[in-house]
Amino acid sequence: MAGAEAKGDQGETRVVHVNDCAFYAQRILATASKDGLPWSYYPRAVANYPVAGLVGRARFAVDGALWLAGLVRRAITSDLLHVHSGSVTQHTRFVPKKYVLTLHGTDIRTLQYQERWRKVILDGVRNAEAVMYTTPDLREHILPHRPDAVYLPVSIDVGGLPTSTAGREGRARVFFVSRWDESKNAEGQMELARELLKIEGRTFDVVGLDWGPQAADAERAGVRLVPRMSHPEYLDYIVNSDAAIGQSAGILAASELEAMALGVPLFITLTPGFYPPDIPVGQEGCESPRAMAELIAAELSDSESLRSRGVAGKRWITAHHDPAATVERLRTIYAAARL
């Protein structure tokens, strides 16, 4: 015990964040840097070239070995790794270093049930010193394997976000902020889009991202698609929209939280029990896509109601997703994990 206490007295835990998902680690590290914490970032290797053929496979193997060597060098001078996504543990497991793991969604919600990935994901989960997950729907998938896993959602620095462009002209814009795929319940999003497009005397445009396997279906339904953008461009596009529509999977992921943090009114039907009942998103009395469409149309014609919802959403993010609070929780988790 005395040895553990001595080790714990060596100062701040030196941590390498490996990989990132939806800028989750980036937000944490930005705040940690301001506080002078010895935390750093190591991105996962990405093969942006064809891997087929002898040359491609050889290059892939060499790049993988170089990436692993880079991780080893960083691990030697750190106390702990913080791995983002269970799938990444298939690579980091070759480095004999203590680690904590954040599960971000598909890794534990989907991959753990596939034969190809199950052992990798569950070994990574079970061998971690601590496990965190980012959205409440993941709880049922992770707790059977790690009852001690903790919910640590996306953090957002409200002060670092763009503001809307004054005097924007043209029709109001309703923006679907998530991509069009099964994990976001794209069919549910399209049902809502169809109802919005059917509203008589509609005075707003219905817009979405040209992203996801079902994006073409959304376009055929009448949604105007815009190209994928850089993250700063994406935030600018949201903040200059009049209303944001969240995914139809019943949770708040990074895009939905960013819309709220930007002060843009968010409309989304959340799964009961996942969030506080007073969360300021548009979902009141919305038991069908038609009812949600009618709520959105009504609020777009009531500028004060729309403004109030946006202000309340931004305040809620500040209270519940403060990056400084996330960093403090991680400091405690790291200190316990290194012992």
Residue 204, strand partner residues: 172
Residue 77 DSSP label = T
From CA 269, how far away is CA 277, in angstroms rounded?
Answer: 12
Max Cα-Cα span within the chain: 74
Q: Which CATH number does the domain 159-320 belong to among 3.10.129.10, 3.30.930.10, 3.30.310.50, 3.40.50.2000?
A: 3.40.50.2000
From CA 84, how far away is CA 63, in angstroms rounded?
Answer: 20
* Domain ranges (residues) in the chain: 2-155+322-338, 159-320
Whether the pTM exceeds 0.85: the reply is yes
From CA 205, how far away is CA 65, in angstroms rounded?
Answer: 49
From CA 288, how far away is CA 91, in angstroms rounded?
Answer: 44
Residue 41 DSSP label = E
Query: What's residue 199's pLDDT?
Result: 96
User: Which residues are CB-contacts of 191 (< 8 A; sequence separation ≥ 6)?
Assistant: 248, 289
Q: Are 125 and 131 in contact (CB under 8 A)?
A: yes
In residues, how long is the chain?
Answer: 339
From CA 329, how far away is CA 82, in angstroms rounded?
Answer: 14
Query: What's residue 5's pLDDT?
Result: 37
What is the C-alpha R_g of the chain? 22
Query: What's residue 10's pLDDT?
Result: 61
User: Which residues are CB-contacts of 260 (< 8 A; sequence separation ≥ 6)?
Assistant: 252, 266, 280, 281, 313, 314, 316, 317
Cβ neighbours of 156 (radius 10 Å) = 24
Query: What's residue 234's pLDDT?
Result: 97
Distance of CA 319 to the CA centre of its chain: 18
Q: Which fold has domain 2-155+322-338?
A: Rossmann fold (3.40.50)
Q: 2-155+322-338 and 159-320: same fold?
A: yes
Q: Are 326 and 37 in contact (CB under 8 A)?
A: no
Q: Are 181 and 248 in contact (CB under 8 A)?
A: no
Residue 282 DSSP label = B
Q: Are 242 and 124 in contact (CB under 8 A)?
A: no
Query: What's residue 166's pLDDT?
Result: 62
The pLDDT profile of the chain, 339 residues, written as one tens digit per residue, is: 333 333 434 689 999 999 999 999 999 999 999 999 999 999 998 877 788 888 888 888 898 999 999 999 999 999 999 999 999 999 999 999 999 999 999 999 999 999 999 999 999 999 999 999 999 999 999 999 999 999 999 999 998 899 987 666 789 999 999 999 999 999 999 999 999 999 999 999 999 999 999 999 999 999 999 999 999 999 999 999 999 999 999 999 999 999 999 999 999 999 999 999 999 999 988 999 999 999 999 999 999 999 999 999 999 999 999 999 999 999 999 999 998
